[in-house]
Chains A and B, each alone.
Chain A
Amino acid sequence: MANPDRENPMRPILGTLAGVKELADDIKLFQVELNGERFDYAPGQFAFLSAFGVGEAPFGLASIPSRTTALEFAVNRVGTVTDALHKLEPGAIVGVRGPMGNSFPLDDLCGKDILVLGGGIGGAPLRPVIHTILDHRAAYGHLSILWAARSPSLLVFTDEYGAWRAAPDTELHVTVDRGDEAWQGNVGLITDLLARLAPAPDNTVAIICGPPIMIKFVVLGLQKLGFQDEQMIMTLEAKMKCGIGKCGRCNMGEQFVCLHGPVFSYAAVSRFLESFV
């Protein structure tokens, strides 16, 4: 939920692009330091980034406040705004509006085993979930991360694999739809990997993010393994313009993805009259 003290929720606050990292093919990680103002945010929330002169677009927050003062966003270059953002160099001024949306119910997940399934850039909003669990390791049960992408060059946060694997009671499995000459790891869809690992649903919650079609098939795969609707949580993407439930665009039935989401349990999603796919 955007800061209710803000007088004009359509007005961004200014930030400086402190760092830009190549994350994957056409995907960059932007680190934005806010000039003065701070806001508190939780995993799952998103913010609008303005490339002044072109426009703004919503991006999931890929960082957590306890680890860095910068806001981190993974940006895939697919349109005019993202293209303009990709052309920016450190030091550039950007606009930020946020935080918006709801967050993953991580408090409710204490004591449970967590299954994280990330596809492509969908891994970005899941990274803060992983960080939170690792930083409060004892509060959560077993952590299983299934990380996938269409090809090795599209995998994100590969430099963090070591830290994830090294954490206690944590496993990481990576797969790509198709490999390349250098690729030594798994080749296959995330749904095949899931079927092979066949995690038990007992006391487990699955957190999913990726392209809509991937979410759809992962849900089917989890249901086959006995996961109930409330045990599957996803974060959805939608075209947005305001992020605060005014412009009317992002509705899934009477729920606005920007206000009532973007985090939804499958129990809620299955009640949507329209398909998010």
Chain B
Amino acid sequence: MRATSHESLLAWLDTLIERSTLVAPQRVEREWLYRPVSSAAAIAFDFQRTTVSPKGYFFPETEVLLDIERRGREVVMGEPDLAGDQLLFAIRPCDARALLVLDALLVDRPPADSYYARRRERTTLVGLACPQMWDGCFCTSLGSGPADASAVDLMLYHDGDGYLVETVTDKGAALVAGVDWPEVDRPAPEPEITAEVVSVRPPDEWLAAFDEVVWQRLADRCLSCHACTYVCPTCRCFDVRDDLTAAGPGYVHVQRLRAWDSCMSPAYRRIAGGHNPRPDTAQRLRNRFFCKFCYSPRDFCAVACVGCGRCIAACPAGVDIVEVLRGV
């Protein structure tokens, strides 16, 4: 491990801004959110967990898939250029592990989502280990922990007023090559593990819980908004629609957009013609939990939840994922 002071870290980050977009936690009114910063001084280091996950820097809230121009019988299609590298600074272990879940779905299973894949390739992840767990956190129940460095390129640990720096991948090593931070002997401090481990049932055992009344009872208070899915680092459902940007005689210019959508929306599965296999809140709520803890692991990867606890904080109606896990 190497050690650095806070000042030295900021100076180093300021040099990186020249060649990459630096995305870091910022205080925005009453929230902490990941935003591009123009100087390291704007970074908020005292955050716990951002309100919305940083997945938007890989899977944006709004993404232009295609630029389409039709003139008479001629159609020209273009894809937006994704210029530049991205440095995501102070990503928490849970959010970094969430990217592994998104990788499994969006890249590893062919055909790869080229938009997500490109952003992923162009981004370096510098993690900031959590010194403790906060209200709502349950990463330790999902095989991870507040100091889990498995999904980042470089990991920082709080060390007094400074930081210890751990190189995890070659990408991370390249980032700090030549930086004047001394090697030190001491190990990274152990984070305070305060949350009780919740026993998460294996995917196959969820099948038996499908018809249980617990879903009806939970759905009573669920408002079918999109808050949980949007703040979640692993949710990735999207909508696609053409947006007319200009039109004239024989001419049409359109952007084919994709944007975040939510399986909790009542119209999520409603087809033109009216048929909807999930008209009830209980069905949609159940589907969401099953998707995370049963379908995703059975279909393509590990459990699609990293225990970040944002959904608990964001839910306006008090639906609590840990309560669900305990009750199933």
Partner of B68, one of A52, A76, A82, A247: A52
Q: Interface residues of B: mostly helix, strand, loop or mixed?
A: mixed
Asked if A247 contacts B237 (CB within 8 A), the reply is yes
Report yes or no: A14 in contact with B111, Cβ–Cβ below 8 A.
no
Which parts of A220-277 form the interface with B (CB within 8 Å)? 237-239, 241-242, 244-249, 251, 253-256, 273-277
Query: What is the minimal beta-carbon distance from B290 to any residue of chain A, in angstroms?
Result: 7
Query: Contact between B207 and A273 (Cβ–Cβ < 8 Å)?
Result: yes
- Contact residues of A with B, CB < 8 Å? 2-4, 6-12, 14, 50, 52-57, 76, 78-82, 91-93, 95, 211-212, 237-239, 241-242, 244-249, 251, 253-256, 273-277
A-B contact pairs, 25 of them (CB 8 A): A7-B114, A8-B79, A10-B113, A11-B79, A14-B75, A52-B68, A52-B70, A52-B252, A55-B256, A56-B240, A57-B272, A82-B272, A92-B73, A93-B74, A239-B269, A241-B239, A245-B109, A246-B113, A248-B238, A248-B263, A248-B291, A249-B237, A255-B299, A274-B277, A274-B287
Cβ B73 vs Cβ A91 within 8 A: yes
Contact with A along B196-212 (1 / 0, CB 8 A): 00000000000100100
Residues facing A in B220-269 (CB within 8 A) are 236-242, 244, 247, 252, 254, 256, 258, 261, 263, 268-269
Q: Which of B38-67 contact A (CB under 8 A)?
A: 65-66
Size class of B's contact patch?
Answer: 35 or more
Q: Name B183-219 residues within 8 Å CB distance of A.
A: 207, 210
Residue of B with least CB distance to A236: B277
B110 and A55 form a contact (CB under 8 A): no
Given A4-B111, A10-B66, A241-B238, check contact A53 B79 (CB 8 Å). Answer: no
Q: Is the CB of B295 within 8 A of A54?
A: no
Chain B residues whose C-beta falls within 8 Å of the C-beta of A52 in the assembled complex: 68, 70, 75, 242, 252, 254
Chain B positions within 8 Å of A2 at CB level: 111
Query: In this complex, which of A52, A80, A246 has the most chain B Cβ atoms within 10 angstroms of its Cβ?
Result: A246
A93 in contact with B73 (CB, 8 Å): yes
A244 touches B272 (CB 8 A): no
Closest CB-CB distance, A41 to chain B, in whole Å? Answer: 16
A91 to B263, CA, bound (A): 38
The answer to the question of B101 belonging to the interface, with a C-beta cut-off of 8 Å to chain A, is: no
Inter-subunit contact B283/A79 (CB<8 Å): no
Chain A residues near B272: list those with CB within 8 A: 57, 78-82
Q: Is the CB of B110 within 8 A of A4?
A: yes
Looking at B66, B74, B298, which has the most chain A CB atoms within 10 Å of its CB?
B66
Contacts of B277 in A (CB 8 A): 212, 238, 274-277
Given contacts A53-B242, A244-B111, A254-B299, contact A274 B207 (CB under 8 A): no
| Closest-CB distance, A91 to chain B (whole angstroms) | 6
The 6 closest A-B pairs by CB, nearest first: A79-B272, A254-B295, A248-B237, A9-B111, A254-B299, A78-B272
| Cβ of B278 under 8 Å from chain A | yes
* Shortest beta-carbon distance from A240 to chain B in Å: 9
- CB <8 Å contact, A274 and B283: yes
A3 to B79 Cα, complex, angstroms = 19
How far in angstroms is the closest Cβ of chain A from B60?
14
CA–CA, A269 to B17, complex, Å? Answer: 53
Question: B268 — which chain A residues lie within 8 A by C-beta?
Answer: 239, 249
Which chain A residues border B319 with CB–CB below 8 Å? none
